[in-house]
Amino acid sequence: MDKAALLGEVVRYVRDLRSESGRAAAGAVVPGEVDEVIVEEEEEQGSRRSCDAGEKAKRVQARMCCDDRPGLMTELGNAVRSVGTRAVRADIATVGGRIRSVLELDVTQTAAGGDNVASLPALQAALRAVIISREELLAMEGYKRRRFSSHFCKET
């Protein structure tokens, strides 16, 4: 085997390893360092029917990554329900104070032709509101903490 053939074989092997590692990393639910919200519609896998008659469900995948804090899961559940979606599956990982959630959600459509195109941006906005921490929200609104003068405090 000459050097050119060996080099070609090594390049092919490295490309195969890269594609395998890319496929393996795609399924990983490890939180990143950047706050993000991604909402994508999944491919059709046949028509799904909701429990209620006359409603079709569209499957949506929502991925979010943010700092972990008390009450985050409650806020996340409220945000999902506020836009009329229902959680079907959730993969959640917490590492080093960061959390990554991959949610599969059903968005219902009525048989009367009601379209839920506007619900995807609404869902993304609701999830984005969840990841904004209270401190960032107060800083954005120009909130100032009330300060008290020591003159009015009782000394013991």
Tell me the per-residue pLDDT of 5-55, one tens digit each, with 9 for 90 and over: 999 999 999 999 998 887 776 666 677 788 889 999 877 655 455 455 555
Q: Which of 29-43, 60-74, 107-121 has the highest mean pLDDT?
A: 60-74
The mean pLDDT of 75-101, rounded to a whole number, is 90
Task: Name the residue with higher pLDDT: 77 or 116.
Answer: 77
Of residues 78 and 138, more confidence is placed in 78
- The answer for residues whose C-beta is within 8 angstroms of residue 85's C-beta and 6 or more apart is 60, 105, 106, 107, 108, 119, 123
Give the single-character DSSP code of 150.
Answer: G
Fold of the CATH domain 36-137: Alpha-Beta Plaits (3.30.70)
Give all strands (DSSP E) within 18-126, no chain letters: 36-41, 48-49, 55-67, 85-95, 98-110
Higher pLDDT, 59 or 42: 59
With tokens 């080093």, the residue in question is 96
Q: What is the per-residue pLDDT for 111?
A: 43
Spatial separation of the C-alpha atoms in residues 39 and 85, rounded to whole Å: 13
Domain ranges of the chain: 36-137
Provide φ and ψ at 12, rounded to 5°.
-65, -40
Mean pLDDT, range 57-62, rounded to an integer: 86
Neighbours of 151 (CB within 10 A): 5
The residues near 56 (Cβ < 8 Å, ≥ 6 apart) are: 47, 48, 49, 50, 108, 109, 111
Among 29-33, 79-83, 109-113, the range scoring the smallest mean pLDDT is: 109-113
Tell me the average pLDDT across 95-111.
82
Which contiguous run of DSSP H or E holds residue 140?
helix 134-140
Alpha-carbon separation of residue 40 from 15, 43, 59, 138 (angstroms):
28, 10, 9, 30
pLDDT at 56: 62
- pTM value is 0.61
The confidence score (pLDDT) of residue 112 equals 46
Highest mean pLDDT among 17-31, 110-124, 132-146: 17-31
